[in-house]
Amino acid sequence: MYEAHFGLQEVPFALTPNTRYFLNARSHSDALELLLVALREREGFIKITGEVGTGKTLLCRMLLNALAEQATMAYIPNPSLSPDNLYEAVADELGVTVPDQDNTHRILKALTHRLIELAGEGRQVVLVIDEAQAMPEETIEALRLLTNLETESTRLLQVVLFGQPELDVLLAKPSLRQLKQRITFQYQLTALDRTSVAQYLRHRLSQAGYNGVDLFAPAALRLIARTSGGIPRLLNILAHKSLLAAWGRGDHQVGRWHVLQAVKDTESALSPGLFGRWL
């Protein structure tokens, strides 16, 4: 497409989460540091929330990569499961074979045996659940019961919940107060400010092989920051469409006009007339 035109080796603003494009912006680097510290301290539940498109899944993958060598990871990307299905999914992630999967007692017994086995090997076990706001209430309670598995000196399972703000609403229900009390660390991802937006665009372009002068003109940067609201997913969409607009006209720098075309083609973009902290 436009890669050769701009001297790129690949498309820099793809929506697929790629840890190579992770930017150590303050909010996201602080969240990752909190996760690593909390897990090192063997805390039970950790919660990370953020609006749609703020980079939760990418942060989740960064965590999985960071712990791959030192911990046994179980990853549930779609937790809209019944309690029994959750137990089965965790068992599958940990390599547990359960003869009779219709028997909850046997599944929990096999899971307990495996967790004790891993603890004996000195392996930390971390369960990471993405899109946790989609969990049914009874499944969240089943998750709490799963974390009751521990020895006298060792917590056998730690849980990290990634979710949208609706997760906080869900956990505020009186029926889930026991789990909420177990959340010892939490962090809310925020949108990028204007300075971080510029760093974000430059970083992704650099990772894609670009090494020329600033590809986005100052006026284009201001507009793309304002109309994206600093949300990484929207930044990717608008930056990609802006590059397409520039390429279509044979231009070698993205200007305000190109960004306006991208905004007009993106329903979720904020109105250019709205003023906020990204101005």
Assess whether 252 and 135 both reside in one domain. no
Q: What is the model's pLDDT at position 14?
A: 93
Query: Rounded CA gap, 187 and 97, in Å?
Result: 35
Mean of pLDDT values over 188-203: 94
Helix axes 26-40, 56-67, angle to 10 degrees: 40
Spatial CB neighbours of 239, under 8 Å, sequence gap ≥ 6: 12, 13, 201, 204, 216, 224, 254, 262
Q: What is the model's pLDDT at position 97?
A: 82
Q: What is the model's pLDDT at position 211?
A: 92
Burial group, residue 277, by CB count within 10 angstroms (0-12, 13-18, 19+): exposed
Mean of pLDDT values over 23-52: 90
Assess whether 138 and 256 both reside in one domain. no
Domain membership of residue 8 (yes or no) is: no
Mean of pLDDT values over 250-259: 96
Assess whether 138 and 68 both reside in one domain. yes
Q: What is the model's pLDDT at position 104?
A: 82
Domain membership of residue 6 (yes or no) is: no
Report in angstroms the alpha-carbon separations of 270 from 229, 246, 265. 7, 21, 12
Q: Give tens-digit pLDDT for 116-139.
A: 999 888 889 999 999 999 999 999
Assess whether 40 and 72 both reside in one domain. yes
Domain membership of residue 158 (yes or no) is: yes
Assess whether 234 and 147 both reside in one domain. no
CA 178, distance to chain mean position in Å, is: 25
Q: What is the model's pLDDT at position 277?
A: 41
230 three-class SS: coil
Assess whether 142 and 47 both reside in one domain. yes
Assess whether 113 and 217 both reside in one domain. no
Residue 51 · residue 164 · CB < 8 Å: yes
Assess whether 152 and 205 both reside in one domain. no
Assess whether 168 and 111 both reside in one domain. yes
Domain membership of residue 164 (yes or no) is: yes
Domain membership of residue 224 (yes or no) is: yes
CATH number at residue 42: 3.40.50.300
Helix axes 232-249, 194-207, angle to 10 degrees: 60
The C-alpha angle with vertex 217 and arms to 215 and 220, in degrees rounded to 5, equals 110
* pTM, two decimal places: 0.89
Assess whether 164 and 87 both reside in one domain. yes
Dig out the tokens for 58 from the structure.
Answer: 């990418």
Which of 165, 188, 211 represents a domain boundary (last residue)?
A: 188
Which of 188, 218, 239 represents a domain boundary (last residue)?
A: 188
Q: What is the model's pLDDT at position 273?
A: 61
Q: What is the model's pLDDT at position 109?
A: 87
Query: Rounded CA gap, 274 and 30, in Å?
Result: 29
More confidently predicted of 11 and 151: 11
- Count: domains in the chain: 2
Across the chain, mean pLDDT equals 90
Q: Which residues pair with 49 in a beta bridge?
A: 163, 188
Assess whether 156 and 88 both reside in one domain. yes
Residue 238 · residue 227 · CB < 8 Å: yes
Domain membership of residue 213 (yes or no) is: yes
Which of 188, 221, 251 represents a domain boundary (last residue)?
A: 188
Least confident interval from 43-47, 166-170, 228-232, 244-248: 43-47
Mean of pLDDT values over 5-28: 92
Q: Give tens-digit pLDDT for 212-237.
A: 999 999 999 999 999 999 999 999 99
Query: Rounded CA gap, 83 and 90, in Å?
Result: 11
Q: Choose among 21, 38, 29, 25: nearest CA to 186.
A: 38
Mean of pLDDT values over 246-275: 89
Assess whether 144 and 201 both reside in one domain. no
199 three-class SS: helix
Domain membership of residue 56 (yes or no) is: yes
Q: What is the model's pLDDT at position 37?
A: 93
Domain membership of residue 4 (yes or no) is: no
Mean of pLDDT values over 16-37: 91
Domain containing 256 equals 194-264
Query: Rounded CA gap, 259 and 254, in Å?
Result: 7
> Quick check: 279 pLDDT over 70?
no
Q: Give tens-digit pLDDT for 78-110.
A: 899 999 899 999 999 999 987 666 678 888 888
CATH number at residue 250: 1.10.8.60
